[in-house]
Each structure stands twice: as C-alpha cells, then as structure tokens.
Amino acid sequence: MKKTTLTLIMGASLLFATSACQPPADMPKTPDTKSTSKETVKEPSTQPLIEAKTPRALTNALVALSEEQLTNKLVCTKLSDTMKNIDNKSKIEDIHAIQRQLNACLPMTDNLEILQWLKEYQALYGRFLGSNSYMDDENFYDVVNTIQQGQKLSVKQLKALSPRRRYLIELVASKADVSVLYIGEGIFIFHHDLKAMADLFIPYLPADQAKFIQRMAQDNQDIFWNDAAVAVSFNEVIARAKFWESYIQRYPTSYFSQDAKNLFNMYRYVLFYGSDNTRWTDDAIHEFLDPKYTQAMAQLTTRSNSTLAQDAQIFLNFMTLSDRERKKKYPVPSKDNNGNKIENWAIPRYQLTEILPILSPWEEGNNRDCLSSIICVDYNVE
C-alpha cells in the first residue's frame, strides 16, 4: 500500500510540474447554450489534485480524474453517431452541443478520424438546413425582403411559412449561424458561416489540409454560378486559379490534392473560356470586353513556373492573329467530333480549343461538388 501511495504521489507531482510549464490552451469557445443532448464532454479538472492534503485524498482525486477522462473518450467514440442523428427536425442547440464535444475531442484524435468528423459535420449542416430544399415562392421572397430591410417580421408572414422554414427564418432574424443565400434563377437556400466551420477544425489539421478548407470557406461563402453566368469578377477568377496552382505545386501529395487539381482546372477553364452567360472577350476573341482584363492577362504571363503563364501567353498570341491567319494555321473542319456542323460564330472558340485544350467542368465524369462548402463531395445523383 505504501508503494502504491508513493507511486501516486510521484505521478501527481509530475503532473503538477508539467501543468505549470504548459501555456494555456488557445481554444475558441462556443456560447454556453443549453443543449438537448444528454452527453456533454467536460474538460478534466486537476484542481482536486492540487487541493489534496492527504494520500487518501490524492488517490481519490486521481481515480476521479481517470474516470472523467475515460467518460470523455467514450463520448468521443460516439460522436459520429451523434452527428448522424442531426436532421431537419433538430434544433440549433443540438449543433451547439456537438460543437462543444468537437472542441473537447479534436485535440485527442488522429487525423483520419478528424477528417471523417469534418465530412460528417459538413453533412449534418446540410440535413439541418435542408440543403435540397429550394425556396422560390412569393411568401418566402416577402420574408427575405423584410429581413434585408432590417424590419421585424409580422405574425402573418411567419404563419405563411412551414414550421421548419419558420424556425430557420427565426434563426436568421436572430443572427444565429443561419443565413439565406440567393443561388440564381429566383431561388434561395438556407446557408451558414463556412469560416466558423473551418475554424473549428483548422487548429488540429496539418498545413495542407488547413489551407485547403480555409480557402474553400472563403471562396464558397457566396455563389460562383448564377444563371449559367460567373458570379465573381475576372480578377477573382485569376486569383483563385493562381491559388490552386500554387497549392498543388506546394502540396503535391496532399489528402486534398485531386480536389485541388479539379478546382485549378475549373477556374483555369473559366478564365480562358468563360461560361454560357459570361464572356471576357468579343465573340471573335480579338478584344477583351474590359481593358483591365488585358492588363491582368498580360501580368499573368510573368508568373514563373506556371501553366497559367503559358496559357495566358498562348491566349494573347491567339487574340493578335487575324481571321485569315487563324484559318491558315488552324483549319476548321465542317463538323465537330460529334458530327455537328461548326457555325461561323463558333469557329474562333473551336480554334482556341485546338491550341489551348482544357477539360470543361461540365465534361462527363466530373462528379464532385467543390463549390458549396469547405470540402468537396460527390454530387447527389439520386
């Protein structure tokens, strides 16, 4: 018994010394919101050890500390199941409870499980907000307009909504972590703060993974596509393409490397080809629609060790060629690979694809959604 007591005292002394040398943990704290969850992870306290005056008190304190740590580990092992239980009937307090559990569990978890929790945490927000539910009715427009004007919603307006939409709108009005996002074509969806989601995980991820979700949170807080048009500026497209090119050069073996390559290729394509409802040049691809685009593209050619720089130079060289020179250098068949006639207006674009082949983001086989949240997911093709 004396030997056991001595061992416990020595262990406690070592714990005190270690604790005294450690800086306080810089952990973001979530609001102390009452939770409907029955299980809560509490940070183990060493205060009873410090206050122990006798060997018996010290032994009891060590046993209690061990039991508390074991309880926390058990709660963490069930965290995935807890997150999967969140659905379109859950309350915001349920998410707050999960946030507190993540704050306690993330520091003691390996990378693979953290990435799994990240995927599940992102998915639970989709279920909570009803990400597949689009709002395009007059009653919802009226509610959104009232909120945007900073006015209070009337009882009549709230009663016109379904119970779930009413609950989420009340969260929007109270400035909780729920917002309304316009996604084009007269449609709204419920959204949330992607930066807050990323910030929860970033401290526990290696640099490549942290930078990936941080950039995704920044770029995807708002929409990229709007009615088949690009919803961001030309310079923003360049900035995103440059970021992802640098990312895949710096982190070629990253867990997110393939998604980063897909993002780079998408922004690269949009930079040089635009979209159905967005053009950076005239139809003949001889002039930019804005002189500032010319300067930005020329600046891109000076980028070192860069595919984008090579692309930009090819693009600018193509723009300087006359139609006759293009016809001589890049003859165009009467029909494309699908057997469709190539109209006169489509000839410049066809010639450009011959010298600047970039896979379109709409090509068959690209089944990843990288424009909605902080990690890419497979499109729901049900």
Q: Indicate whether 114 and 144 sit together in one domain.
A: no
Q: Indicate whether 373 and 233 sit together in one domain.
A: yes
56 assigned to some structural domain:
yes
Of 44, 72, 373, 53, the residue nearest 216 (C-alpha): 373
Output the pLDDT for position 364.
Answer: 60
Q: Indicate whether 265 and 281 sit together in one domain.
A: yes
Output the pLDDT for position 110.
Answer: 94
Q: Indicate whether 74 and 190 sit together in one domain.
A: no
Output the pLDDT for position 367.
Answer: 82
3-state secondary structure of 371: coil
270 Cα distance to chain centroid? 20
Q: Indicate whether 245 and 302 sit together in one domain.
A: yes
Output the pLDDT for position 362.
Answer: 81
Q: What is the rounded CA–CA span in Å between residue 139 and residue 302?
A: 52
214 assigned to some structural domain:
no
Task: Give me the phi and psi of 343, to 5 degrees please.
Answer: -75, 160
Residue 52's domain spans which residues?
2-129
Work out the angle between the directed axes of helices 234-250 and 291-300 (0-180°, nearest 10): 10
212 assigned to some structural domain:
no
215 assigned to some structural domain:
no
Q: Are 120 and 83 in contact (CB under 8 A)?
A: yes
Q: Indicate whether 167 and 272 sit together in one domain.
A: no
- Out of 157, 180, 205, a domain closes at 205
Q: What is the rounded CA–CA span in Å between residue 335 and residue 340?
A: 5
* Segments in the chain forming alpha helices (H): 2-21, 47-51, 55-77, 79-84, 92-105, 111-129, 138-148, 155-159, 163-173, 194-201, 207-219, 234-250, 257-273, 291-300, 307-320, 323-329, 347-355
379: number of Cβ within 10 Å: 11
Pairing relationship of beta strands 229-230 and 225-226 according to DSSP bridges: antiparallel
Q: Indicate whether 240 and 138 sit together in one domain.
A: no
213 assigned to some structural domain:
no
- Out of 176, 205, 234, a domain closes at 205
Q: Indicate whether 32 and 16 sit together in one domain.
A: yes
How many domains does the chain contain in total?
Answer: 3
Q: Indicate whether 110 and 144 sit together in one domain.
A: no
Q: Indicate whether 233 and 359 sit together in one domain.
A: yes
Mean pLDDT of each 10-residue bin along the chain, 382 residues long: 37 37 36 39 52 60 50 76 96 96 93 97 96 84 92 94 95 93 92 97 98 98 94 98 99 98 97 96 97 97 98 98 96 90 94 94 80 92 43
Output the pLDDT for position 50.
Answer: 59
211 assigned to some structural domain:
no
- Out of 69, 98, 129, a domain closes at 129
Q: Indicate whether 280 and 355 sit together in one domain.
A: yes
CB-based burial label for 334 (10 Å; 0-12, 13-18, 19+): exposed
Is pTM beyond 0.95? Reply is no
Q: Indicate whether 25 and 169 sit together in one domain.
A: no
